[in-house]
């Protein structure tokens, strides 16, 4: 069996699956149930400082985007950080960590951007025995209007400053949680690294309004006829999260910093993809809120079986394996040629490929009178839109054409302009050599 044990910046857990800081980790009862279900770690829902209590709305807190059969694709929330007493949370964290010493317990923190506030709370957190802290610089709603959360995460100078305070007043690993609501994710990540952060976690939720009630004319969720922007998460944000993770993993100023991947992770495959992009572990929220804590058991078994099939005995063996293949557009091989092929045995004659290609693409699919669809090779530019709109898996595939094959579009033999890709001017290594 593959070894799923995780050692993330010195924080050990039996597997790389952690619950993200969110409603599922708001109290001792939830966290104990999570650990009994098999989760390797949790990031306790964000704690605030002493002072005026946090007050959450007593109405709907979530808006949703659905796919087919009401499958939850995206969740928007307007919930704030914990509204439970600071010391109650600290006592519960201490008890849980004592009872589950082999599990990772991380404490998320958000206090005003003042040194005194951080200096006051950090010793209290350290006394709990928790394994580390996560600085919540990502929350895009409610707290950001108070100068915290994403309001800090959008200013690299603040990130570096607060991270330095935390490294000064706290002895265990410091993870900085980044907001995606920014133009270039590499800048806040570089600031966290410059401040001494042991790791970054991303992405936090994306600022959003999921829908508008056309009767009350207010955004959903609606609170007494009014709505607000919130934080968007779930499967729909996974592509955004993976892009940002890859940018940090390969960025000149951020390369080497440990990454905890967050964003739409629902299956073992999602987790594996994040790990190949450089993540040391992953954090999950929406999937647990949708299917319950026991979903981690499928993640554990699925990742373990896949690793066995591939011959990986440890997650470190494939961590970052996809990074060398992530490049800028200008470095893509323009000599590569492919064509779409339709498997007539699988085709159900729905016509989606034809409609999409004829109306919005390259008019490269023909339709006969008896609704047989075929690719017109001479017009196909291999955009693969037909593959994506086809409802039958593997009915339409993209087939690469090897050098020496006649390209029907041009009537010419497919022959690379540069016989060896290593000498191609679009290849960054070739450019560097010159």
First to last CA, the chain: 47
* CATH number of the 329-433 domain: 3.30.70.20
Helix (H) or strand (E) segment spanning residue 167 = helix 156-169
Q: For tokens 């008019």, what's the residue?
A: 363
Tell me whether residue 395 is one of the annotated catalytic residues: no
CA distances to 44, 284, 338 from 380, rounded to whole Å, are 52, 40, 9
For CATH 3.20.20.70, the residue range(s) in the chain are 6-325
Q: Is the pTM here over 0.95, yes or no?
A: no
Which token pair is 58?
Answer: 């007593």
Integer Cα distance of 389 and 403 in angstroms = 29
Residue 228: predicted pLDDT = 80
Name the phi and psi angles at 243, rounded to 5.
-65, -45
Taking the C-alpha atoms of residue 172 and residue 339, their distance in angstroms, rounded to an integer, is 54
* Peptide bond between residue 203 and the one before it cis (omega within 30 degrees of 0): yes
For the chain, what's the residue count? 434
Distance CA 111, CA 430 (A): 49
Residue 230: is it exposed, middle or buried by C-beta count within 10 angstroms (0-12/13-18/19+)?
Answer: buried
What was the pLDDT predicted at 421?
Answer: 46
Q: Where in the chain is the domain with CATH 3.30.70.20?
A: 329-433
What is the three-class DSSP state of 72?
strand
| φ, ψ at 367 (rounded to 5°) | -130, 125
Q: What is the pLDDT of residue 7?
A: 97
- The tokens for 250 are 């390969």
Cis, peptide link before residue 221, omega less than 30° from 0: yes
Question: Which residues have CB under 8 Å from 314's CB, separation 6+?
Answer: 2, 3, 5
**How crowded is residue 69: how many other Cβ atoms within 10 Å of its Cβ?**
5
Q: Which pLDDT value is given to residue 418? A: 43
Q: How far is CA 130 from CA 118, 212, 410, in A?
A: 17, 41, 64
Catalytic residue among 113, 139, 166, 390: 139
Please list, in sequence order, all residues whose beta carbon lies within 8 angstroms of the beta carbon of residue 117, skipping any fewer than 6 positions away.
49, 111
DSSP 304-329: HHHHHHHT-SBGGGTTTTTGGG---G
List per-residue pLDDT tens for the chain, 434 residues long: 789 999 999 999 999 999 999 999 999 999 999 999 999 999 999 998 776 677 667 767 778 888 988 998 988 887 778 788 899 999 999 999 999 999 999 999 999 889 999 999 999 999 999 999 999 986 665 455 555 556 787 889 999 999 999 999 999 999 999 999 999 999 999 999 999 999 999 999 888 888 898 998 988 888 877 778 778 889 999 999 999 999 999 999 999 999 999 999 999 999 999 999 999 999 999 999 999 999 999 999 999 999 999 999 999 999 999 999 999 989 988 888 899 999 999 999 999 999 999 999 999 999 999 999 999 988 999 999 999 999 999 999 999 887 667 666 666 666 554 444 455 555 555 544 43
- How many Å apart are CA 171 and CA 164, to the nearest integer? 12
Q: What is the DSSP string of 378-389?
A: TT-----HHHHH
b (16+ CB within 10 A) / e for 34-48: bbeebbbbbbbbbbb
Q: Please state which architecture CATH assigns to domain 6-325.
A: Alpha-Beta Barrel (3.20)
């Amino acid at each position: 069996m593959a070894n799923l044990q995780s050692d993330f910046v010195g924080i050990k857990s039996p597997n790389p699956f952690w619950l993200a800081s969110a409603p599922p980790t708001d109290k001792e009862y939830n966290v104990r149930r999570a650990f009994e279900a098999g989760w390797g770690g949790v990031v306790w829902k964000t704690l605030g400082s002493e002072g005026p209590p946090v007050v959450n709305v007593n109405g709907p807190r979530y808006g949703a985007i659905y796919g087919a059969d009401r499958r939850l694709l995206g969740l928007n929330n307007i919930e704030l950080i914990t509204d439970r007493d600071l010391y109650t949370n600290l006592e519960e964290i201490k008890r849980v960590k004592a009872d589950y010493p082999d599990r990772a317990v991380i404490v998320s923190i958000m206090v005003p951007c003042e040194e005194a506030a951080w200096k006051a709370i950090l010793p209290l957190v350290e006394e709990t025995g928790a394994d580390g802290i996560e600085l919540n610089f990502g929350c895009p709603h409610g707290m950001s209007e108070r100068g915290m959360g994403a309001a800090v995460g959008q200013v690299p100078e603040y990130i570096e400053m607060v991270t330095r305070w935390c490294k000064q007043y706290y002895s265990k690993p410091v993870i900085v949680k980044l907001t995606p609501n920014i133009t270039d994710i590499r800048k806040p990540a570089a600031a966290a690294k410059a401040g001494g952060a042991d790791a970054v976690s991303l992405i936090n939720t994306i600022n959003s309004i999921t829908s508008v009630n056309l009767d009350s004319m207010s955004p959903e969720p609606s609170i007494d006829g009014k709505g607000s922007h919130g934080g968007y998460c779930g499967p729909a944000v996974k592509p955004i999260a993976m892009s940002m993770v890859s940018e940090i993993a390969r960025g000149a100023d951020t390369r080497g910093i440990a990454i905890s991947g967050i964003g739409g992770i629902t299956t073992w495959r999602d987790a594996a993809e994040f790990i190949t992009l450089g993540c040391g572990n992953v954090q999950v929220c929406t999937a647990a809120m949708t299917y319950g804590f026991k979903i981690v058991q499928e993640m554990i078994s699925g990742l373990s079986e896949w690793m066995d099939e591939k011959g990986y005995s440890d997650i470190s063996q494939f961590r970052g394996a996809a990074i060398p293949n992530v490049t800028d557009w200008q470095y893509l091989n323009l000599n590569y040629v492919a064509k779409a092929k339709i498997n007539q045995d699988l085709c159900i004659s729905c016509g989606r490929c034809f409609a999409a290609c004829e109306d919005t693409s390259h008019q490269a699919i023909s339709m006969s009178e008896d609704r047989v669809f075929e690719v017109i090779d001479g017009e196909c530019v291999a955009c693969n839109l037909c593959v994506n709109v086809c409802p039958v898996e593997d009915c339409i595939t993209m087939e690469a054409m090897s050098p020496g094959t006649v390209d029907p579009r041009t009537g010419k033999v497919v022959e690379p302009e540069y016989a060896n890709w290593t000498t191609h001017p679009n290849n960054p290594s070739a450019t560097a050599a010159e």
